[in-house]
């Protein structure tokens, strides 16, 4: 049974975006479509009037995309999955709002112009409007910067929008700023939440899409959600045709650690993965497969509207005249409603302006979205009466009509008990979805999560979930992994492997795409530099994951095995592929046991034994400035001998440096006894010089002392790498500078500062931990 990184069950837009995100990061992904997807936002309706005029609608209610512009967050999301050039969009800079039968206003829907519009019509609220928009802009900037940080693999955290506004309904939030209820209603006259009462709207879900639209543009989307889904499936098919399978899952199997281990389909086939994504309503899913009262009761608090009785429907109208002659001149009209009524108009969409082929040139075609409560009786006369009040000429111009399919229409505001007065950690759990996770490696996705954010919310959730799983796969969860290589360290290993073999004499650029990180390597003969980012016209590009490249560099697998399994892909000349592979040491498989390391409860025991030797020796040297050596050397000798015995018991046989250290201390013991003048000289030069020279000579001949101890702290496949030895040699040189630096600086500063100079020992210990990180960071150029 093949072990996948991720199995996606279902095929809504959010889950497919997660699948594509991970597949493009070279993760082993399987999509089990289950054939249960229905595009609830799109309808195809054909009408024929009494005069045999035909009208055809292919109408998507959720056809407004928020926040797309060059370099916007949404554009970067789509670029990450290769979809930024796939969508057909039309800018929508303005919209009409119907406030009453006599009042239709035009709103220019940009951040600044929307603020101007509100100040113009609600001048008494001017100061409050400016304060609100100042806060809104701050939250937008923070939101975008945090998620750009996520995509760029830099630090990011909970957004200020979630922290400050995440526990409010839209009504409660806006009442913090405004007293005018008409002004508050302006915020629900849009495609996101039209027809809802603001007290039922999750302000966080609403604003994450709304402010991106105001800042980065609103666009009319020409593709249906089903067509977007097909684009995603097509891209997955290109990556790996075997990635997509049609089957129905019968059962979900949990192991003894309470993790999802595998799923079984209706034909008895088993599929195993590290992580699972299920595109399904969580209440229905858990009730069917895991009857857990605690989870179900928690779900009802966080997602109380999963079984909403609110319904949305569309009335399709074929007209016997152009809509423009009836006063309907613009594309979209939003309607202000009496919130005490359960039957509410949402918007009028002038479909003929969107699709010229919908009807004959002289005929109009419009769509009317409205919502109502399930169980309420509604008559078409009620809908039409409201329309005729606003557009009276419409009354005699309708030649045919039809109601579309009625579907659930919901917002998702949690109960107060689970959204009020929360700690930051609680908010992080909610934002990541962990608050309703029954199993650590099982994730549920769908439009039910953030219905107020519409398509922006689906794209956002798909990317964020994919990133979350990628990060878990990136860091790994295997207990037998003693050392985790970062992407930067992988590139430095590649750099140090280069030189014995080269690519070619002329300048060559090779891009490495490792998970979320991009690098380009510039080589010419034996010269090499590594940069963050990507070269726009590379000679060759490699796409792989952290673990696959680590295994190649640590000689655990052959290049052929990784290439055949699809763990590495490339773009460029095939002949150049093997030049690159050989030059960077990516195909040097060796049989070895990488686990020959002694398990201890202490982290980095090898280096800590080295620190013990160094500290004892340095302490003796320091005290020799004030105390006779006869009182120091024997104690230092015994202590070092004890450290050697302890190390032998813990890590095994001694290394040559231990013999040198203990032997040198024994010599000092003898000299302090037989040479009284040396015993009383009180000058540490003779103590510091031999140790400093030992480290310096070891560095010069490339036999690093630090390697003798540091090798115990890591797996042998990593410690045998050239990169590891270079780092260890650098640390050896650093310790040579510590001892020789203390010796030399006393002649500059004077002996009264000797105690200050010995702080270099503590600095050396500190730097021993952070030097490898600094070395890597400073050798990869921005």
Asked if 376 and 431 sit in the same domain, the reply is no
Run of H or E including 15? helix 13-24
Name, in order, each residue with C-beta under 8 angstroms of 493's C-beta and a sequence gap of 6 or more: 485, 553, 721, 722, 723
Which tokens belong to 391?
């557009």
Asked if 322 and 347 sit in the same domain, the reply is yes
Task: State which of 408, 424, 444 marks the end of a domain.
Answer: 408
pLDDT value of residue 117: 96
pLDDT value of residue 598: 60
pLDDT value of residue 589: 61
Task: State which of 355, 380, 408 marks the end of a domain.
Answer: 408
Residue 232 included in any domain: no
pLDDT value of residue 560: 87
DSSP annotation string for 753-769: GHHHHTHHHHHHHHHHH
Residue 231 included in any domain: no
Asked if 154 and 26 sit in the same domain, the reply is no
pLDDT value of residue 207: 97
pLDDT value of residue 25: 87
Residue 765 included in any domain: yes
Q: Where in 280-383 does DSSP place strands (E)?
A: 310-319, 332-335, 344-349, 365-373
pLDDT value of residue 296: 67
Residue 74 included in any domain: yes
Asked if 378 and 501 sit in the same domain, the reply is no
Asked if 441 and 575 sit in the same domain, the reply is no
Residue 193 included in any domain: yes
Domain holding 142, by residue range, is: 44-223+306-408
Phi, psi at 283, each rounded to 5° = -65, -45
Asked if 88 and 208 sit in the same domain, the reply is yes
Asked if 543 and 437 sit in the same domain, the reply is no
Which tokens belong to 199?
């007290």
Q: Find where tokens 């030797």 sit.
A: 613
Q: Find where tokens 């969580």 sit.
A: 282
Residue 418, classified by CB atoms within 10 Å of its CB into exposed (0-12), middle (13-18) or buried (19+), is middle
Asked if 252 and 313 sit in the same domain, the reply is no
Distance of CA 75 to the CA centre of its chain: 15
Asked if 517 and 638 sit in the same domain, the reply is no
**Per-residue pLDDT tens digits for 511-560:** 999 877 889 999 999 999 999 988 989 999 999 888 888 888 888 888 88
Asked if 199 and 327 sit in the same domain, the reply is yes
pLDDT value of residue 52: 94
Domain total for the chain?
A: 4
The parts of the chain modelled with pLDDT lower than 50 are 478-482, 594-595
CATH number for the domain that contains residue 113: 3.90.660
Q: How many residues does the chain have?
A: 782
Residue 593 included in any domain: no
Confirm if 438 and 290 have CB atoms less than 8 A apart: yes
Angle at 29 between CA 27 and CA 35, to 5 degrees: 160
Residue 482 included in any domain: no
Asked if 197 and 124 sit in the same domain, the reply is yes
Asked if 457 and 350 sit in the same domain, the reply is no
**DSSP label at 304?**
T
pLDDT value of residue 332: 96
Name, in order, each residue with C-beta under 8 angstroms of 38's C-beta and a sequence gap of 6 or more: none
Confirm if 731 and 768 have CB atoms less than 8 A apart: yes
Task: State which of 427, 455, 475 marks the end of a domain.
Answer: 475
CATH number for the domain that contains residue 506: 3.30.1050.10
Name, in order, each residue with C-beta under 8 angstroms of 633's C-beta and a sequence gap of 6 or more: 620, 665, 668, 669, 671, 672
Which tokens belong to 642?
């004890």
Q: Find where tokens 């510091």 sit.
A: 688
Name, in order, each residue with C-beta under 8 angstroms of 1's C-beta and a sequence gap of 6 or more: 262, 270, 271, 272
Residue 230 included in any domain: no
CATH number for the domain that contains residue 470: 3.50.50.60
pLDDT value of residue 486: 85
SS3 279: strand
């Amino acid at each position: 049974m093949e072990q996948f990184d991720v199995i996606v069950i279902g095929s809504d837009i959010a889950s497919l975006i997660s699948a594509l995100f991970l597949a493009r990061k070279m993760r082993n992904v399987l999509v089990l479509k289950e054939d249960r997807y229905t595009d609830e936002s799109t309808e195809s309706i054909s009408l024929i009037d009494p005069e045999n005029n035909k009208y055809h609608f292919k109408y998507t209610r959720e056809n407004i995309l928020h926040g797309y512009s060059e370099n916007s967050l949404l554009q970067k999301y789509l670029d990450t999955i290769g979809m930024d050039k796939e969508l057909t969009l039309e800018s929508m800079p303005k919209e009409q709002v119907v406030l009453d039968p006599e009042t239709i206003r035009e709103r220019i829907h940009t951040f600044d112009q929307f603020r101007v519009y509100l100040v113009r019509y609600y001048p008494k609220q001017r100061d409050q409007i400016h304060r609100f928009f100042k806060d809104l802009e701050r939250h937008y900037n923070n939101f975008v910067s945090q998620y750009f940080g996520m995509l760029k693999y830099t630090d990011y955290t909970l957004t200020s929008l979630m922290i400050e506004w995440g526990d409010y309904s839209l009504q409660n939030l806006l009442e913090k700023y405004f007293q005018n209820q008409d002004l508050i209603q302006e915020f629900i006259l849009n495609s996101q939440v039209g027809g809802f009462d603001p007290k039922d709207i999750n302000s966080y879900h609403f604003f994450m899409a709304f402010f991106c639209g105001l800042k980065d543009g609103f666009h009319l989307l020409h593709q249906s959600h089903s067509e977007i889904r097909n684009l995603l499936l097509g891209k997955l098919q290109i990556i790996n045709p075997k990635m997509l399978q049609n089957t129905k899952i019968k059962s979900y199997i949990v192991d003894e650690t309470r993790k999802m281990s595998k799923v079984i389909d209706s034909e008895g086939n088993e599929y195993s993965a590290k992580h699972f994504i299920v595109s399904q309503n969580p209440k229905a899913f858990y009730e069917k497969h895991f009857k857990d009262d605690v989870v179900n009761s928690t779900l009802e608090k966080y997602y109380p509207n999963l079984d909403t009785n609110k319904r949305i429907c569309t009335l399709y109208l074929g007209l016997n005249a152009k809509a423009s002659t009836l006063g309907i001149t613009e594309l979209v009209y939003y309607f202000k409603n009496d919130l005490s009524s359960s039957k509410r108009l949402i918007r009028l969409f002038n479909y003929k302006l969107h699709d010229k082929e919908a009807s004959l040139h002289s005929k109009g075609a419009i769509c009317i979205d409205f919502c109502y409560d399930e169980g309420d009786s509604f008559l078409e006369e009620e809908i039409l009466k409201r329309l005729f009040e606003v557009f009276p000429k419409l009354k005699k111009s309708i030649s045919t009509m039809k109601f579309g399919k009625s579907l659930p229409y919901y917002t998702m505001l949690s109960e107060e008990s689970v959204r009020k007065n929360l700690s930051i950690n609680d908010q992080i759990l909610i934002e990541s979805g962990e608050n309703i996770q029954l199993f650590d490696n099982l994730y549920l996705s769908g439009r039910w999560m953030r219905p107020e954010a519409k398509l922006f919310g689906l794209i956002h959730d798909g990317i964020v979930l994919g990133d979350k799983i990628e990060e878990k796969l990136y860091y790994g969860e295997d207990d037998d992994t003693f050392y985790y290589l970062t992407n930067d360290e992988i590139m430095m290993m590649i750099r140090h492997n280069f030189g014995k073999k080269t690519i070619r004499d002329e300048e060559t650029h090779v891009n490495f795409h490792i998970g979320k990180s991009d690098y380009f390597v510039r080589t010419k003969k034996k010269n090499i530099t590594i940069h963050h980012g990507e070269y726009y016209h590379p000679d060759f590009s490699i796409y792989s994951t952290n673990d696959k490249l680590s295994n190649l560099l640590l000689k655990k697998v052959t290049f052929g095995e990784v290439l055949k399994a699809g763990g590495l892909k490339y773009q460029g000349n095939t002949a150049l592929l093997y030049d690159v592979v050989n030059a960077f040491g990516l195909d040097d498989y060796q049989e070895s046991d990488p686990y020959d390391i002694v398990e201890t409860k202490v982290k980095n025991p090898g280096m800590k034994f080295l620190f013990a030797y160094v500290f004892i020796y340095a302490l003796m040297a320091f005290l020799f400035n004030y105390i006779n050596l006869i009182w120091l050397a024997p104690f230092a000798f015994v202590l070092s001998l004890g450290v050697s015995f302890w190390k032998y018991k813990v890590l095994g046989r001694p290394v040559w440096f231990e013999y040198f250290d203990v032997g040198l201390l024994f010599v000092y013991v003898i000299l302090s006894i037989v040479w009284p003048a040396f015993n009383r000289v009180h000058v540490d030069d003779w103590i510091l010089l031999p140790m400093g020279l030992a480290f310096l000579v070891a560095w010069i001949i490339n036999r690093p002392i630090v390697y003798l101890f540091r090798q115990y702290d890591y797996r042998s496949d990593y410690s045998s790498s050239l990169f590891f030895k270079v780092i260890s040699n650098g640390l050896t040189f650093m310790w040579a500078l510590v001892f020789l630096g203390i010796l030399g600086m006393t002649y500059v500063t004077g002996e009264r500062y000797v105690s200050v100079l010995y702080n270099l020992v503590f600095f050396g210990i500190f730097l021993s931990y952070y030097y490898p990180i600094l070395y890597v960071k400073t050798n990869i150029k921005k």
